[in-house]
Amino acid sequence: MSAATSTPSGSATAGRTLPLSEGSLLQRLLRGAITPGGAVFILLAVLFVAVVWVNPSFGEPPQLIRFIGRTAPIAIAAMGQYYVIVSGEFDLSMGAVIATQVVIAGNYIGQDESRVLPALALMLLIGAAVGVVNGLATTLLRVPSFIVTLGTMLALGGLVRYLTGGAATGNPVDSFRQIGRGGIEDVPVLDVLPYPVIILAVVAVASVLLMRSPFGRTLIAAGDNPDAAGLAGAHVWWVKTRAFMLSSLSATVAGILLVGYAGVHPSVGSGYEFQAITAVVLGGVVLGGGRGWVLSAAAGAFALELLFSFLNFQEVESTWRPTVQGLIIILAVAAGARAWSYGRRPSRTAESAPPAAPAASPTPARPGTETGEN
Amino acid sequence: MSATTDHTSPSAAEPREPRDSVRRRRAARPAGAARRLDSTGLIYLVLVGVIAISVVLTGMEGRNFFSQGNIWAVLTAMSVLGLIAIGQTLVILVGSLDLSVPYVVSLATVIAAGGMKGLDANIAAATFNALALCALVGLVMGLLVSLLHVHGFIASLGIGLVVSGYLGTNYQGSHGSAAPGLRLLGRSGIAGVIPTAFVILLVSALLVTLLLRYTRLGHHLYAIGGNQSVARMSGVRTALPVITAHVLCSVFAGIAALLLLSRTGVGSPTIGSQGRYDLLSIAAVVLGGTLLAGGKGSVIGTIGGVAIFAVLDNVMGVMQVNPFLKDFVRGFVIVLAVAVYARRSVVRRPPRFGASRPVLPVPSSKGDPA
Amino acid sequence: MRRQIHRAPIAVATALLLGVFATACSTEDPTDGGTGSDETTESSESPDASESPTEEVEWFDQAVYDEQFDQRSATFEGDSETPYLQYIDGEMTDTSEFKSDGAKKACFANASISNPWRQTGWITMNQQLKALQDDGVISEMETRDAGDDDNTQIADIDYFISEGNCDAFIISPNSTAAMTDAVERACETGKPVVVFDRGVQTDCATSFIHPIGGFAWGIDTAEFLIDNLEEGDKVVALRILPGVDVLEQRWAGAEKLFEENGIEAVDYFTGADPTEIKKIVTDELAKGDVQGIWMDAGDGAVAAIEAFEDAGADYPVMTGEDEMTFLRKWEETGLTGLAPVYSNFQWRTPLLALEKIFAGEEVPKEWVLPQTPITEDERADFLEANDGMPDGHYAKFGGEDLPGYPEVWQERQIP
């Protein structure tokens, strides 16, 4: 955990500071490292050392920056998924959105250079629209987001394949693909600075700023306890809908990068929703909402990719990969579940109700649909 | 957590879950029969509507929806997904999720087929081994969820990945052979209209309904799903029901696997993933009116949800709908149907109960910060 | 707190359980020597179902390998202008009992159209259907798509048997062993049954249509790489997924030859996802030089080539497939390559077989279609012939003389 998260929750604890925001920066860092959101950075460091140990050339700056570049799409997707998860929801439609954007890029742009900008606008528009649909169906129609986004995943995936006959016409012009494939050449030390790294950095900074803004605080509050957030005057439905839009837009950006990195293919993006959720969870973000740091989600994505690279370098039979992945997720989350409670232990009076049990708040009779006994 | 919580939390003997005293009474109570019947009734009303449309559409193709072969096809399609969905209902009721079912199904088919080796004499042992292994997988998940407080989504996703890696490494292609007796069961039925598999589904549904309505365990399942902390404060040992639900879910997946095996005749390490049983079973459960967050729902509703899926697929098959478009329709119907129930339950509540979020905060991972 | 005191032992217990679970599974292995079905056909597609699940599942079958090795140079009966009607001389099925006049209804149980190869074939098949409908041979074809699911396909076949009013069955099995019983039930109706692509473990079908097979693919590709590489060179093998017999045999054949000729080969499963392919190749290039790329299907080949470009490495010697995306990239880069073919035109053959069957003409019991890789010399011709086709199109789709050519394939109209 870090200041980014502790600030909003601190402000919510009415006049009490959480221990994480007390003390010097170093103390805070140390304390932060034992929370799941911080522990992922330690995991990241350990994995990095392991990979470099197995394959020393991986540590060279040009190699490393390329690795960061190719991990950018999943890291950006993970940050998008973070908004949704921290607000207490799920977005399973991410992979379908990526596939849709990739196919649009291939079929709409084609070899026509002049269509690059309209295509970008169109893709962002579609991304936002999917987010709005997911968000409104979740908040206003009150369908669980797991189901809404499962529906969007099926519907969008089916529709795109139906309209395109299952395969894209071909790759779009190279200038469009440069976004995900190219970079600034002749950079000292790095050799080349891939555009995806720059985009990732911009997205990361924007995310941190966003999470420190009133929107970010409301988002976490809405995930922590929507009833309380609603009472405090937040428009929970609109906050959550914006989270879904951010998620779909992140998927769109990931899709644009993947068009460049991998090319146009309907299977690009498949499984990204679970990868992104896994990354977010590895980053110590709690499913159900209310806790976690946005950069930890990105770090979770890097940890996951490093793990895969490590397995590749170790020549672990690729059929065992899911098993290792499964064990790591479980261990990380089990450890996380402990660490969150340790991190929170001192604040006994502020200790509290998880959103699942939204607490006997001043509106006593609010056993909403989620906890309802009948 | 919010300041509001602090006001109501007396530092009592259980300072970690001090809230919810107001709701204890409600949440710890099993579902009231009257209102469940209402919502179940609505689900079956939707089913009747879907069937009516299907009858018309099937008729336009020059076929009869109620012909012997078609009914057989619909009921068969319901059986496997239905059994898995019954298990999924239990897990969801208690506030968890099970994404590992496809891999458990695959695992059970290869273990059972490998054990049977095509001989009737091996049926009992192979069945026992397969179901015992399923139970073990469910037990691990249950322990992770209840004692280590790993979210059901993650626990089952992780275990599913573990099993899939094991299957991928050790079973490449079909494996073993079902006993002739089991294959015969796969083809048998009552009067050529009702497959034995469907009878098994109905019996299972009945048993689980009885379990939920009339046993202490069943009541505890609802109570924990409604609010785990309150349930524990009311004296419910929360770990046992959660573990039981996961074990039962995996065992039902195992039974479904045996039904699949009775049809295919060989174990297959991918048969579960082929059927997309993880997401479809969850969708069917929610379609059947069970709350994804737990605490409310019924197996009868789930069977209705499964039937809606089966009829929908059947009529799309008869109409030869483009396979890609089928997914579009499925996705659309899932959201639309659930929206109908969700809206309705909001409307039906007295106003003061109205505004509440339909989110998925499964209590298990964080419902207990201790 | 009471709960916290209990936490540590519980964690240990769960970890132990996880371990027990893993070992419990692995110890199952030696006891699992299932027998499988006895009725394996001579079909090249049928894997030995009676293998025990050890680490090294043996997909290699010397007899089938030898047979396919020879078939690559066999003489095919019929006109090479219509390769979809060619076959290797062998046992023929007498179809005089099926001879009858009038348009017939065909029922097609399709495994899926979930990859570009199947989509292209499915388009071709529908245009072939139109041609035969115009000729008054086939009245209609009812199709059920199983969406890659064995259980659904079994139900589809049963539905056809009871409700379809079918005059003939065409089945493209989703998997070999699981579909055997259902195909036998279709045979028991006494109507003609045509099986194509993957096989089943029964020879009850009137005709089983398939290209030479996976081993032939493996031999063609491995020999090409061996010829163009030095001993000790490294080949990265990119495979789609485990457990599908037609794909496993491709690798089993190639792997054997690589081993015999001192080529170092590492294989990965990619799910045909270009993102995955590119990452794997990039990691391999980070580890050391890679001289060759072998693929068990060319879908996603471009990502592998681009990984070399982005890493600034020399192009590999590579085998892809006759998918347009690979042919185009191959020409553009000028790398040393070969496009093996799993003849897509086989999707025409089942309906044409029905035409013969209802005319009372004999058809091959096992209809082995030609399967010839596209070499660099032939590449330009195929690129020209398929100009304007989408990337997911297959060069040897064999539908040039069908109605709707080329628009239907260019626009990829899937019925």
Distance CA A267, CA A265 (A): 5
In this predicted structure, the answer to whether residue A290 has a pLDDT above a threshold of 50 is yes
Q: For the range C311-315, what are the long-range contacts, defined as Cβ-Cβ under 8 Å and sequence gap of 24 or more?
A: C311/A66, C311/C282, C311/C285, C311/C286, C313/C285, C313/C289
**Pair C187, C140 in one domain:** yes
Q: What does the alpha-carbon distance between residue A294 and residue A86 come to, in Å, rounded to a whole number? A: 9
User: Is C4 in Cβ contact with B69 (below 8 Å)?
Assistant: no
The total number of residues shown for chain C amounts to 415
C208 residue type, one letter:
F
What is the pLDDT, as a whole number, of residue C29? Answer: 36
Omega within 30 of 0 (cis) for the link into C406: yes
**What's the CA gap between C338 and C218, in Å, rounded?**
12
Percentage of the residues of chain C whose pLDDT score is greater than 90: 73
Burial class of residue B74 in the structure, from the number of CB atoms within 10 Å of its CB (0-12 exposed, 13-18 middle, 19+ buried): buried
- The answer to which of B20-34, B316-330, C363-377 has the lowest mean pLDDT is B20-34
Q: Work out the mean pLDDT of chain B and round it to a whole number.
A: 83
User: To 10 degrees, the CA torsion angle through C14, C18, C21, C22?
Assistant: -160
Tell me what pLDDT residue A142 has.
Answer: 87
- β-pair type (C92-93, C363-364): antiparallel
Q: What CATH number is given to the structural domain containing C168?
A: 3.40.50.2300
Of A250, A208, A183, the residue nearest A3 (C-alpha): A208
The arithmetic mean of pLDDT across residues A207-233, rounded, is 90
Instruction: Give residue B344's pLDDT.
Output: 62
CB atoms within 10 A of CB A320: 15
Q: Is the pLDDT of residue B353 over 70?
A: no
> Which residue from A130, A39, A105, A124 is spatially nearest to A258, judged by alpha carbons?
A105
First-to-final CA distance of chain A:
37
What are residue A118's phi and psi, to 5 degrees? -55, -35
Cα distances from C7 to residues A356, B98, B150, B187, in angstroms, run 22, 23, 13, 49
Determine the Cα–Cα distance for residues A211 and A202; give it in Å rounded to an integer.
14
B267 touches B68 (CB < 8 A): no
Q: Count CB pairs under 8 A between chains A and C.
A: 104
This model's pTM is above 0.95: no
List CB contacts (< 8 A) between B338 and chain A.
143-144, 147
- Contact flag C53-B110 (C-beta cutoff 8 Å): yes
Pairing of strands C317-319, C292-295: parallel
Please tell me the least confidently modeled range out of A344-353, B136-145, B342-351: A344-353
Select from B117, B143, B265 the Cβ nearest to the Cβ of C178.
B265
Note the helical H segments in A15-55.
25-33, 36-54
| C-alpha A153 chain-centroid distance | 17
Clarify whether residues C232 and C123 are in a common domain.
no
* Torsion over CA: C20, A334, B283, B212 (sign): positive
So what's the pLDDT on residue C122? 96
pLDDT the model gives residue B232? 84
Q: Secondary structure of chain B: what % helix, strand, coil (to 5)?
A: 70, 0, 25
Q: Are residues C200 and C265 in the same domain?
A: no
DSSP B176: S
Most distant pair of Cα atoms in chain A: their distance = 65
Whether C74 maps to a domain, the answer reads: no
Cβ atoms within 10 Å, residue A188: 6
Q: How, if at all, do strands B194-195 and B189-190 pair?
A: antiparallel
Would you say residue B215 has pLDDT above 70? Answer: yes
Q: Measured on CA atoms in the order A14, A19, A25, A29, is the torsion positive or negative?
A: negative
Q: Which residues from A are below 8 Å from B279, CB to CB?
A: 92, 150
The pLDDT assigned to A100 comes to 94
| Nearest chain B residue (CA) to A153 | B331
Residue with tokens 């897990």: B91
The tokens for A108 are: 């709409």
Q: What sign results for the dihedral spanned by CA atoms A138, A143, A149, A153?
A: negative
Rounded Cα distance, A204 and A186, in Å: 25
Angle formed by the axes of helices A61-86 and A236-262, nearest 10°:
150
Q: How is residue B170 written in tokens?
A: 């050790």
Is residue B70 exposed (0-12), middle (13-18) or buried (19+ Cβ within 10 Å)? Answer: buried
Under DSSP, the state recorded for C75 is P
Q: What are the two backbone dihedrals, phi and then psi, of residue C236, each rounded to the nearest 5 degrees?
A: -100, 125
Confidence of residue A341 (pLDDT cuts 50, 70, 90): low
Residue C238: pLDDT over 70: yes
Q: Give C-chain residues touching B264 at CB under 8 angstroms.
A: 150-151, 154, 177-179, 181
- Average pLDDT value for residue range A154-166: 89
Point out the least confidently predicted range of B36-40, B112-116, C18-22.
C18-22
Report the C-alpha gap between C51 and B174 in whole angstroms.
Answer: 9
Contact B162 A323 (CB under 8 A): yes
How much is the pLDDT for B359? 40
**Residue whose tokens read 């929370």:** A35
Q: What is the DSSP string of C119-138?
A: HHHHHHHHHHHHHHHHTTSE
Residues of A in contact with B324 (CB under 8 A): 158-159, 161-162, 166
Mean pLDDT throughout A265-292? 88
Q: pLDDT of B175-184, one tens digit each?
A: 899 999 999 9
The answer to ipTM > 0.90 is no
Predicted confidence at residue A63, as pLDDT, reads: 87
Report yes or no on C61 lying in a domain. no
CB spacing of C32 vs B114 below 8 angstroms: yes
Q: Distance (Å, rounded) from C-alpha A345 to C-alpha C414?
A: 60
Domain presence at residue C73 = no
Q: Which of B161, B283, B342 sits opposite A142 (nearest CB)?
A: B342
- Indicate the number of domains in chain C: 2
pLDDT at A23: 62
Task: Indicate whether C258 and C316 sit together in one domain.
Answer: yes
The pLDDT of residue B351 is above 50 = no
3-state secondary structure of B14: coil
Angle between helix A294-313 and C274-287 (nearest 10): 60
Query: Has residue C349 been placed in a domain?
Result: yes
What average pLDDT does this structure show over B199-218?
96
With H, G, I as helix, E, B as strand and everything else as coil, classify residue C362. Answer: coil
In this prediction, residue C329 has a pLDDT band, given cuts at 50, 70 and 90, of: very high
d(CA C53, CA C20): 19
Cβ(C265)–Cβ(C235) under 8 Å? Answer: yes
Q: Which CATH architecture best describes the domain A34-344? A: Orthogonal Bundle (1.10)
Q: Which residue of A has its CA nearest to B281?
A: A147
Domain ranges of chain B: 78-299
Residue B7 has pLDDT above 80, yes or no: no
Residue B75 to chain C, least CA–CA distance (Å): 11
C4, pLDDT greater than 50: no
pLDDT for position C51: 38
Q: How far apart are CA C263 and CA C383, in angstroms?
A: 31
Distance from the first to the final alpha carbon of chain C: 65
Percent of residues, chain A, with pLDDT higher than 90: 48
Apex B275 CA angle, B60 and B61, nearest 5: 5
The chain-wide mean pLDDT, for chain C, equals 86
Q: What is the pLDDT of residue B252?
A: 97
CA-to-CA distance for B198 and B193, rounded, in angstroms? 10
**CA C377 to each of CA C345, C373, C383, C399: distance values in angstroms, whole numbers, following the listed order:** 21, 11, 11, 22
The confidence score (pLDDT) of residue B208 equals 97
Please check whether residues C179 and C280 belong to one and the same domain. no
Structural domain range at position C279: 214-338
Cβ distance B172 to C243 less than 8 Å, yes or no, reads yes
The residue among A159, A121, A62, A89 whose CA lies nearest residue A256 is A121
**Is C6 an interface residue toward A (CB < 8 Å)?**
no
* Mean pLDDT, range B31-49, rounded to an integer: 71
Cβ neighbors of C119 (< 8 A, separation 6 or more) are: A165, A166, A167, C113, C392, C412, C414
Contact A168, C391 (CB under 8 A): yes
What mean pLDDT do residues C327-351 have?
95
Distances (CA, A) of A372 to B50, B98, B297: 28, 21, 10
Tell me what the pLDDT averaged over chain A comes to.
82
Q: How confident is the model at residue C298 (pLDDT cuts 50, 70, 90)?
A: confident
Whether residue C103 has pLDDT greater than 70? yes
Q: Which of A173-187, C13-27, C51-65, C306-320 has the highest mean pLDDT?
A: C306-320
Average pLDDT value for residue range C252-276: 92
pLDDT score at A74: 96
Domain chopping of chain A, boundaries = 34-344
- Put simply, the answer to whether C302 touches A58 (Cβ < 8 Å) is no
Token pair recorded at residue A322: 């899911």
Chain B residue numbers with beta carbons less than 8 Å from the beta carbon of A159 are 324-325, 328
pLDDT value of residue A80? 96
Q: In the Cβ-directed half-sphere of C406, how many Cα atoms lie within 13 Å? A: 12
B274–C149 C-beta distance less than 8 A: yes
Residues in chain C with CB shorter than 8 Å from the CB of A313 are: 283, 286-287
Handedness of CA B123, B125, B128, B129 (dihedral sign): negative
- Smallest CA-to-CA distance from C300 within C282, C276, C317 is with C276
**Is C383 among the domain residues?**
no
Least confident of A251-265, B62-76, B109-123, C49-63: C49-63
C21 found inside a domain: no
